Structure 1
């Protein structure tokens, strides 16, 4: 068998990662072969690792995880040499749409029905992810990184593209107030994208006090709220909505940094948790004519105060991954824009090599590590 032997991290069942040897053929004419070096762990990867499924999507064969990745080109197909060469550092856009359907022709390839996305079990056979030494990938979906950016920046381009895609769909007007529910990696990046877009105030909320403090201390947000967990869990719909209203009022009454004026309602709310109570809070906290961007992938069925959204003409806008954002995200990271927080600060933990990947996933599943330090984004370096 021709090709190159490589090692890959392969998931065989819940919490069962094994290092295996695979044969990787030479890249096809339109492909390049990339030595994967930096991969960030995502929430979807974590769901597969812990449960061998992601919501209704079940893993049906051994699967390599990882899709937030960057690496170095080590071989180039015959028709790909006009765009990339050996030694180029690239950010990998790992979703491969059909490129021929109406949605693809409209530029909305992220919702192409024929999308094949690395590390997702939705399609079968599954498209293997990037937690392996090398992959072959179409040159068209490899984005060259400028010398000023690191490969770790290249891996962050993927979640940043999610945030920038959401920002684009929000239609945020400069001078507006933004609310972000959930101070994980994507929530922080949505806050950062809003800053760059000219938001007057960015407010962030989370049940974890340390995450809120991280956001405000590192200029991702101007104000933050640690959402109180009720001593008695609301059970009825009425009690749940009353709780969401109380949280919304707390958010609206936050003080503007350095002043006495209150934040008030948000023009745009990014809901990044997928939690029902957060979606309810978003509706109550968003101003008439505002927008709620639904980013968090959590509860698939939720009870929402739709009348409250309807009478205010609040738009509920779905967000799924990204389209046409990689180049813009790379340009933003390289721009030196003073409104952009230090994005690499979201990477709180780094692990080296395939053998360390199980430990990386164990850490990614935690709020804090053994030292009590906050866990936000875990990065695997295979250089």
Structure 2
């Protein structure tokens, strides 16, 4: 089978790999689509993401959907063979204090597809076949096709970030960064009842995708005279992963408001306007991955065909490097999918 393996900074290879054999409790999935995530791009461009650095070759990909092929044992519970499924990429340990507290997304011993957070790394899903724990499979709701379902993982991240913000119904939400995650935060905030969503970005092309996602006001982040800048907002979600975005959120959120840091900042220390957190009693909250939001994302995708407008291109796996280059060019693309079928 073909797989998309990162060997180091700038060293992405499509390789022939052995087809996996599912073990007890596992299912073999024929992967159809995989979404190229910002973290995949970071591994490709920088050899790591945040503080997680590559130490060995790793199959990339954690936004994957496909079809159940077989189970490692006939008594394994799970969707019937032939069922279209989305793969929840996380396997929490279930026993650590965080799991016991209902915060499995920050499990200290989790396994996450395509992540270098632990060593040996957890191999990802950009392969034509992938054996995964059967409990990670989610059958697609009726009416949801595999192509749109590939957005389930990033939409889950967005839904979790909005929930971390607390109630947003009737409120003005600011989102800094109109990449794929930022656009999906827009959709998640609107689905949660936000009255107004303002989005900032440096690129007009990215802002157009935010409009497709439902943004009410688009602001050029590099233009202080832009008439769309709000005087203040109730909630801000930082989705750009740069310190300037966090600074914007802290300066525009109202006193006593909430800022959610969702974008992964560069490794090491990042400056921020800490005095504003103190003097305005701003609540600064982190948002990392997701848990049960995955099922909510599938339901929301079923109800929202407009999500299709965020998928910019579908590229055959043999052209993976060109797919990554396209995904990295925010002036040309929002979400790019790999087609693992090799048709």
TM-score band by shorter chain is over 0.9
8 A Cα contact 2:20 2:130, kept in partner: no
Matched, 1:283 2:284: no
The aligned counterpart of 2:142 is: 147
Q: Which residue of 1 aligns with 2:319?
A: 356
Q: Does 1:119 align with 2:114?
A: yes
Change (3 A) 1:80 1:198: farther
Please report how far the alpha carbon of residue 64 of structure 1 lies from its aligned counterpart in structure 2 after TM superposition. Answer: 1.0
Which residue of structure 2 aligns with residue 332 of structure 1? 300
The 10-residue stretch of structure 1 (207-216 or 138-147) with the greater mean CA deviation from structure 2: 207-216
Between the aligned partners of 1:346 and 1:13, the Cα distance in structure 2 is 29
Equivalent runs, 1:299-314 vs 2, <5 Å: 299=266, 300-314=268-282
Structure-2 change in CA distance of 1:83 and 1:317 (3 Å): same
Structure with the greater alpha carbon radius of gyration: 1
- Aligned pairs for 1:171-210 (under 5 A) are 171-210=166-205
TM-score normalised over the length of structure 1: 0.84
Partners of 2:24 and 2:76 within 8 A in 1? no
CA contact (8 A) 2:176 2:238 kept: yes
Match of 1:379 among 312, 337, 341: 337
Question: For residues 47-76 of structure 1, what are the alpha-carbon distances to aligned partners after superposition, in whole Å with 9 as ceiling and x for unaligned?
Answer: 111222224322121111111111100002
Alpha carbons of structure 1 residues 14 and 254: separation in structure 2 relative to 1, 3 Å: closer
* Change in CA separation of 1:17 and 1:211 when aligned onto 2, cut-off 3 Å: closer
In structure 2, which of residues 307, 313, 318 is the aligned counterpart of residue 343 of structure 1? 307
Q: Give 1:219 deviation, angstroms.
A: 5.0
Bigger relative contact order, structure 1 or 2 (CA pairs below 8 A, ≥6 apart): 2
Q: Structure 2: how far apart are the matches of 1:128 and 1:73?
A: 19
1: distance between equivalents of 2:10 and 2:115?
16
Distance of 1:210 and 1:18 partners within structure 2:
29
Give 2:263's match in structure 1, choosing from 275, 293, 296: 296
Per-residue CA shift, 1:168-208, capped at 9, x if unaligned? 11112311000000011110111111111111111000011
| Runs of 5+ unmatched residues, structure 2 | none
In 1: Cα distance, 2:309 partner to 2:324 partner:
19
CA RMSD of aligned residues (A): 1.9
Deviation by residue 1:111-141 (Cα, 9 ceiling, x = unmatched)? 1111121111121111111111101101111
- What does residue range 75-224 of structure 1 map to in structure 2 within 5 Å? 75-78=70-73, 81-216=76-211, 218=212, 220-224=214-218
